[in-house]
């Protein structure tokens, strides 16, 4: 399982995230923020999250390196 903390601060970033996630339709991408858990392929789901808060991204164990590279643009650097 792969877990990252990401930020999706606005609608344009949400759209870009969903476009990126659509390349990985066979990969389960779950986003959790506060008490809500949504499918990371869903623009409506992402827009329902509190964009001011960090978002936890969780994927399957078979997380391809290309996906890890793609989500690095959204990761919150600690």
Residue 28 φ/ψ, nearest 5 degrees: -75, 120
Neighbouring C-beta atoms of residue 71, cutoff 10 Å: 21
CATH superfamily of the 2-71 domain = HPr-like (3.30.1340.10)
Q: What pLDDT, on a 0 to 100 scale, did the predictor assign at position 77?
A: 79
pLDDT category at 4 given cuts 50, 70, 90 is very high
Mean local confidence (pLDDT), 46-62:
93
Q: What pLDDT, on a 0 to 100 scale, did the predictor assign at position 49?
A: 96
Domain locations in the chain as residue ranges: 2-71
pLDDT tens readout for residues 5-22:
999 999 999 999 999 999
């Amino acid at each position: 399982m792969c877990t990252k903390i990401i930020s999706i601060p606005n609608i344009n970033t949400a759209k870009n995230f969903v476009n990126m996630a659509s390349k990985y339709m066979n990969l389960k991408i779950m986003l959790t923020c506060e008490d809500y858990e949504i499918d990371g392929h869903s623009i409506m789901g992402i827009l329902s999250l509190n964009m001011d808060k960090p978002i936890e991204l969780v994927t399957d164990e078979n997380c391809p390196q290309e996906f890890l590279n793609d989500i690095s643009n959204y990761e919150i650097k600690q």
